Structure 1
């Protein structure tokens, strides 16, 4: 039966070795290794939420809640190995994971007193969030779950409002340098 399933709204939950948790574990191990190589001031910059509004905190918490629900779905849902969705999903997952590592390395190498404008930040003002969404979307396809995809879309909407607030703070922090960067580079990718 494995490999012939198509996307389901609510795939069956079960505890197993061939569930989506394998890929999330791989991603989190890679994430941990990459973050461990960052100096303390880079990590502080990465998680800086000074000046956030109450709305930003709320949207961030809602996005994290969606991520937690998605993680639970992935942990307890078997991989749909052999399906076209699995093949597409693993490809998207790998692109997202590699992109995330590159984005964090770009972030790590950037001067602390300027907006980050090199590497993936040349094509997106938010490559870490975009690649993280790719990882989650790819995993959702690998488990063949429409509900997991819907949860990621809802999370992306919440993250959009967080990003809008971050950009206000970055404009205040970096002034004209960030405004010029905003004119040249899309918020997400290519055209938007």
Structure 2
């Protein structure tokens, strides 16, 4: 049963995404200027760079699909559980988008010493979603959200 009051439009996003993006950007800059030790596999630098660019572009597209195409802010205000469009492939596409972007930035840095960061980001996002937004969604939408979450993965599209 839907309550009249809607869920927070931004959720916990700013509290977890801003640090993740800042850490990723600083890692890229610090690697570039060799402020932190730079460990590279020179033969794979182009591959890492290209994969990083692809992930950043995928993240931007995913964000646009979630925010603009799905009109998520309006859906939240209207108390609708969005399960179509990009939300039929991933439950938290906005967080996924930033996970892709931050992972892309780490790959662009070409510093293999930083390749553990996306795993930490994924763990932090997973814990944050389970402890906050998924509880809110479960409380608000009940079995409808349970059924949806059984079919759709939390962060990585297509892998459930």
Question: What is the TM-score when the length of structure 1 is the normalising length?
Answer: 0.61
Extract unaligned runs of 5+ from structure 1: 1-41, 50-59
How is 1:39-188 mapped onto 2 (pairs within 5 angstroms)? 45-48=8-11, 65-78=19-32, 83-105=46-68, 106=70, 107-110=72-75, 112-165=78-131, 166-188=133-155
Which residue pairs with 1:191 in the alignment? 159
Q: CA deviation at 1:109?
A: 5.0
Q: What RMSD over aligned residues (CA atoms) do the two structures have, in Å?
A: 2.8
Extract unaligned runs of 5+ from structure 2: 1-5, 34-41
On the 8 A contact 1:88/1:138 being kept in 2, the answer is yes
Q: How many corresponding residue pairs? A: 138
Equivalent-residue separation in structure 1 for 2:55 and 2:151 (angstroms) = 26
Q: CA deviation at 1:135?
A: 0.8
Q: CA deviation at 1:67?
A: 4.2
Q: CA deviation at 1:102?
A: 1.2
Which residue pairs with 2:39 in the alignment? none
Match of 2:32, SS state, is coil
Q: CA deviation at 1:160?
A: 0.6
Equivalent-residue separation in structure 1 for 2:90 and 2:31 (angstroms) = 32
Match of 1:110, SS state, is helix
